[in-house]
Amino acid sequence: MSFTPKYTHLFFDLDNTIWDFDRNAKLAMRETVNLLKLDQQIASFDTFYDSYETLNNKLWDGYRKQEIQKKELITKRFADTLAAFEINEVDPIAMNDLYLECMSEQTALIEGALDVLKTLKQRNFHLQIITNGFRKVQLNKLKNCGISHFFDHVFISEDISYPKPDEHIFKHAIRSSNAKKSKCIMIGDNWETDILGARNYGIDQIFLTKSSKINPTPTQKQPTNSSSSIFSPQTPYTNTFCIEKLTNILLIV
C-alpha cells in the first residue's frame, strides 16, 4: 500500500531557517571591519555590531512594511552606524557592498539542514525558497553553501517587489510552482513574516522556534498542531506546527 504525503511542496525561509544568518552575519561584519581597518577606531567590535544590528533590524522592519525602499535601507544602516562611532572617512555604500560580499561567502547552515534537505529530496518533495532579501546575495548564499540544487525555485522579495508577510509573494510562489494551497507548507523562523504571512494566505506552517526571537507559543519537544488567539476570525483556518529542531520537519511532512 503506497503512502500519499499530505504535502507535495515545501516552502522554506532561508535566513535562520536553513542558512545560519546570526552566525554568518557577525562573521561577515568582523571580516568587513578588519578589511576596512576599522578595528583601531572602535573600542569594541561587539558594541559596534550591536549598534549596527539594532539599526539594521529597524530598517528591515520598515522595508517589510514597504515604508522605505532598498536604497534607503542599504545607505542608512551603515551611514548611521558609522556616524554613531564618529567614523567619517568610510563610504557607507562601499562598506555595504563589501559586507554583502563577505556575507554571501559565509557557509554555516542551521544544524541538521543538509540532512533534512537530502532526505526531503530523496522523498520526492518539491522544495522552494521564499526569502526577503537581495537577489544577488541570497543566490550566492545558496551557491556557496552548495545547496542550490535542492530547490526548484527561489522566490526573492527584491524580484517580486513584495516582501513577506505580504500575501502577494506567497501567491506568486505557489502559482509559479504549479502547486495546490492544500498541498503546501511554509517553514520559517520568523513568526510575523513566515508564519502569519503564510497563514493569512491560507497555507499550513511550521514555526522553527529555536532560532526565532519571537516565540508566541510554548516550546514543544515534539511538533504539535497549535492554534492561537493572535489570529483574527477572518484568518483562514490552517495548521500551525511548532518545532525546536529543523530535523523535526521529517516528523510532520
Domain assignment of residue 2, yes or no: no
Residues 75 and 166 in one domain: no
Last residue of a domain, one of 104, 134, 150: 104
Number of domains in the chain: 2
Q: Is the dihedral of CA 117, 155, 22, 197 positive or negative?
A: negative
**pLDDT-based confidence at residue 237 (cuts at 50, 70, 90):** confident
Last residue of a domain, one of 104, 133, 151: 104
Residues in a beta bridge with 109 = 19
Residues 155 and 230 in one domain: yes
Residues 126 and 190 in one domain: yes
Q: How far apart are CA 47 and CA 165, in angstroms?
A: 31
pLDDT in tens, 2-42: 567 899 999 999 999 999 999 999 999 999 999 999 988 99
pTM of the model: 0.87
Mean pLDDT, the chain, whole residue set: 89
pLDDT in tens, 125-150: 999 999 998 999 999 999 999 999 99
**In this predicted structure, what is the pLDDT of residue 4?**
78
Mean pLDDT computed over 160-173: 95
Domain assignment of residue 1, yes or no: no
Mean pLDDT computed over 52-58: 96
pLDDT in tens, 68-118: 988 899 999 999 999 999 999 999 999 999 999 999 999 999 999 999 999
**Host domain of residue 49:** 22-104
Query: Which segments of the chain are extended strands (E)?
Result: 9-12, 126-131, 153-156, 184-188, 204-208, 224-226, 240-243
